[in-house]
Structure 1
Amino acid sequence: MSTTSISATLAQTQRDAVFQAIATIKENLPFLVDLSADDRKALPKMGDKSRAFVSKALEVATQNPAFLPRSFDIDEMRKDVQLFEALYPLLLSLTQLQDLVDDTSLAVGSEAYAAALQVYNYAKVSGQGTGLDTMVEEMGQRFSRKNRKVKSQQVAP
């Protein structure tokens, strides 16, 4: 496990710029949909293995439209395939960016939590009688456990 020390800040102007960039992305992709968990489960998935199959099926449909029912819309299939192929590199890039943001957030959160633990431990040991008792007690509530079972013992008379 590597220990990465992150010493950085994120100015409000930088955050605003990132949020604006995200808004711009959403504006440029007005067709995005938000599927429910059930919808996601119900849909057939197209992954890397299926891409060649779909391309071959589009080629077959384009070159041999006579065997397809009249209601089958080859142009719509072509648009779907083209949109998928256009979105795929964006998905990869955004997934990589999300992974970097997740990892950085995890690492910097870990650093902040480790520092907080040090403060808590030092305050417990060295802060007695300096007016920190209430604060140490409040911080210690983070580690208190609630009894899962309340045992009621009745003594028979």
Structure 2
Amino acid sequence: MSRTTVSATLATKDRDAVLQAIATIKEKLPFLIDLSAEERKALPKMGDKSRAFVSKALEAATQNPDFLPRSFDLEEMRKDVQLFEALYPLLLSLTQLQELVDDTFLAVGSEAYAAALQVYNYAKASGQGSGLDTVVEEMGQRFARKSRKGKSQEPVL
């Protein structure tokens, strides 16, 4: 397995610009909703196979509105289909972006943690009396576990 390293910085002004861009996206999509897990589970899902079905149903309803009950809102269905189609490329693009941010966040966090473990081990190896005792003890709290004997354990690295 190859080890990917990330060597980059994110300037505060660039981070703020990205956050502003995200705020702008939210502003341009004021109709976005937040569903609970139960609500998501209860909804029928429209995937790739269902897209053709929905498209044909809309076409059939548009060309033959007489068989629909008066309570059926064909215009609302049309708006829903159009919005779904408009959101689809946004969803793909944002999903790809989120995967990139997630992967970079994971890799950079892993690199930082691995470096911190090295610092901890070097500090422990430098021995007592080097002025690092308190820092080593504080860092060691990360690995403290309550065992049956009441003794804390540290990882073997």
Q: Same fold (TM over 0.5)?
A: yes
Deviation at 1:96, TM superposition (A): 0.3
| Residue of structure 2 equivalent to 1:56 | 56
* Aligned counterparts, 1:4-153, within 5 A: 4-147=4-147
3-state secondary structure, aligned to 1:45: coil
- Give the TM-score, by structure 2 length: 0.91
Deviation at 1:147, TM superposition (A): 3.9
| Residue of structure 2 equivalent to 1:3 | 3
Please give the alpha-carbon distance, in whole angstroms, between the structure 1 residues aligned to 2:62 and 2:2: 53
Deviation at 1:146, TM superposition (A): 2.5
Distance 1:48 1:127, change over 3 A: farther
Please list the CA deviations of residues 8-63 of structure 1 after superposition, one character each: whole Å capped at 9, or x if unmatched: 11011001100110011011111111111111111111111111111111111111
Could you tell me the percent identity over the aligned residues?
A: 85
Deviation at 1:125, TM superposition (A): 0.5
Please list the CA deviations of residues 94-124 of structure 1 after superposition, one character each: whole Å capped at 9, or x if unmatched: 0000000000000000000000000000111
**Unaligned runs of at least 5 residues, structure 1:** 151-157
RMSD (Å), alpha carbons = 1.6
3-state secondary structure, aligned to 1:53: helix
3-state secondary structure, aligned to 1:51: helix
Which stretch shifts more, 40-49 or 17-26? 40-49
Number of equivalenced pairs: 150
Which stretch shifts more, 68-77 or 138-147? 138-147
- Give the TM-score, by structure 1 length: 0.91
Q: Which amino acid aligns with 2:122?
A: Y
